[in-house]
């Protein structure tokens, strides 16, 4: 498996301008290695995926549709799928596999069940500060995982929900320039 490499175009739009760590650029310098994404970027990736999860969960059940998708490979086959349900299942499974037991419990109570911080701290016997530090840590962990998953990540969302997603860069093609046409002149009024 290849390691995912972050670049400036991946993170610039997701970075917070007021972030004191990356100063709005989205990348933080590694101590002896390459640049890494800032935690504000990773949290924004998680929040975008979570917004999509909530939008799917709250929509009417009859809205979901089965789609016919083309698979990649040498023999182009078609496959039936329900992208919304697949996204929700992937979201929950990635969280379960990535987080430890206590983090997953916080994730379940706060994000999936929608409990506010007061109820979560009372139920989990935590103080407010530790709870919010754990929430930010969970958002960063899952944001990184949603973006770096191989071969297909949950983020960017448009790539997840499009059919026939190809994991190769698009080759530039030469577009011929149109022929130059004569300038059109409007008809002139006859002078009497």
Residue 167 has pLDDT above 50, yes or no: no
Mean pLDDT of 80-97: 88
Question: Which of 111, 123, 116, 127 lies closest to 43 in space, CA to CA?
Answer: 111
pLDDT digits (tens, 9 = 90+) for 10-40: 788 888 888 888 888 888 876 776 778 888 9
pLDDT digits (tens, 9 = 90+) for 122-161: 999 999 999 999 999 999 999 999 988 887 788 888 887 7
Residue 189 counted as domain residue: no
Residue 141 counted as domain residue: yes
Pairing between β-strand 67-70 and β-strand 78-81 as defined by DSSP bridges: antiparallel
Structural domain count, the chain: 1
Mean pLDDT of 84-103: 92
> To the nearest whole percent, how much of the chain has pLDDT over 70?
77
Residue 168 counted as domain residue: no
Dihedrals phi, psi of 148, to nearest 5 degrees: -95, 0
Secondary structure (DSSP) of 10-78: HHTTTS-TT-TTTTTSSEE--SSS--EE-HHHHHHHHHHHHHHHHHHHHS-GGG---EEEEPPSSS--E
Q: Tokens 């191989």 — which residue?
A: 150
Pairing between β-strand 67-70 and β-strand 36-37 as defined by DSSP bridges: unpaired
What is the reported pLDDT for 28? 81
CATH at residue 124: 1.20.140
């Amino acid at each position: 498996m290849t390691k995912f490499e972050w670049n400036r175009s991946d993170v610039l739009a997701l970075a917070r301008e007021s972030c004191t760590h990356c100063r709005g650029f989205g990348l933080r310098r590694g101590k002896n290695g390459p640049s890494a994404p800032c935690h504000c970027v990773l949290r924004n990736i998680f929040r975008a995926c979570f917004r999509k999860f909530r939008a799917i969960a709250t929509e009417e059940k009859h809205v979901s549709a089965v789609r016919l998708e083309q698979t990649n490979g040498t023999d182009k086959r078609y496959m039936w799928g329900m992208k919304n349900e697949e996204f929700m299942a992937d979201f929950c499974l990635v969280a379960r596999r990535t987080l430890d037991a206590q983090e997953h419990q916080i994730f379940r109570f706060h994000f999936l069940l929608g409990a506010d911080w007061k109820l979560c701290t009372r139920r989990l016997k935590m103080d407010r500060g530790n709870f919010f530090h754990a929430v930010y840590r969970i958002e960063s962990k899952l944001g990184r995982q949603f973006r770096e998953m191989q071969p297909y990540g949950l983020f960017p969302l448009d790539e997840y929900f499009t059919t026939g997603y190809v994991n190769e860069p698009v080759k530039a093609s030469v577009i011929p320039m149109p022929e130059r046409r004569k300038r059109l002149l409007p008809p002139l009024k006859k002078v009497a």
